[in-house]
Amino acid sequence: PLYHIGGIMCTLAALISGGTVICCDKFDTSKYYEDLKKEPRPTWAYAAPSIYQMLVNNAPEEIEHELRVMRSGAANMPHKLAKELKEKFKTIVLPTYSMTECMPIASPTLGYRLEREGSVGRGCGVDVKVWNKYELKESGYGEIVVKGEHVIDAYEGAEVEKINGYLKTGDLGNIEDGEITLKGRSKDVINKGGEIVSPFEIEEKFMHCNGVKDAVCFVIEDELYMENVGIMIKGEEKYRE
């Protein structure tokens, strides 16, 4: 939506580059596929993963379009969904990374072919590091932190949480050879007897299982471990009784 940073920035980017912006009054999967065939035909699309999931779930057998790129935003796109989207539309799919406080943070290049699961590419105009609660590092695992000209300085009436000038995103991830892979949220974790479990990674594992359409991981109280892992699964239609 246009009140989100992604909607604002992608709209401005298209207009500044001399492109055309096509705005729909509301989202409807069948209308979306019809709009792809109307003039002027869109050449790239930007949407949240939930929108792309609905498009995949309701895709016609043959999709007529001229999309060269489909870019995600608002939330981390599951690797399985990215691959399904690429298979359905036969085009480039870019799982990108940004937040209201810093848009963009990272993006794969146009040559990316979903080779690395969970990858959101390299930093775009910002210095990206990981914070492991002890030190800032160029690579390794920890909380993603960013620093740059388009990183927010302050909220209205509240301070921005930074470490040595780097904004703490609250996202957990890994940086290897400059490439960022997201693993979940720093506060969206399950502490099972001292073992930190990422619900995002659990969900990803189940989403790769045959017959699983959707999966949600959550914390449950446990007398022994204090916190334990719960999982709710929605099966594909042909596996339901």
Quick one: residue 60, left, alpha or beta (phi over 0 = left, psi -120 to 50 = alpha)? beta
Nearest to 189 by CA among 171, 204, 168: 171
Two tokens, residue 41: 């035909």
The DSSP element (H or E) to which 71 belongs, if any, is strand 69-72
Q: What is the dihedral of CA 45, 48, 52, 53, to 10 degrees?
A: 180
Q: Are 197 and 189 in contact (CB under 8 A)?
A: yes
- Note the pLDDT of residue 87: 96
Per-residue model confidence as pLDDT tens digits over 189-240: 787 876 778 888 899 899 989 899 899 999 898 877 778 999 999 988 876 6
Q: What does residue 178 show for φ and ψ, rounded to 5 degrees? A: 85, -10
CA distance 83 to 116: 11
CA neighbours closer than 13 Å in the CB half-sphere of residue 179: 15
Convert the pLDDT of each residue in 10-54 to its tens digit. 899 999 999 999 888 788 999 999 999 999 999 999 998 888 988
pLDDT in tens, 35-45: 999 999 999 99
pLDDT given for residue 78 in this prediction: 85
Q: Are 162 and 168 in contact (CB under 8 A)?
A: yes
Structure tokens at 101: 């406080």
CA distances (Å), 73 to each of 108, 112, 176, 189, in order? 13, 16, 22, 22
Q: What is the mean pLDDT of residues 159-172?
A: 92
d(CA 224, CA 215): 25
CA dist., res. 126 & res. 130, Å (int): 13
pLDDT score for 225: 78
* pTM to 2 decimal places: 0.78
Q: What is the pLDDT of residues 117-143, one digit of tens each?
A: 889 999 999 999 999 888 999 999 999
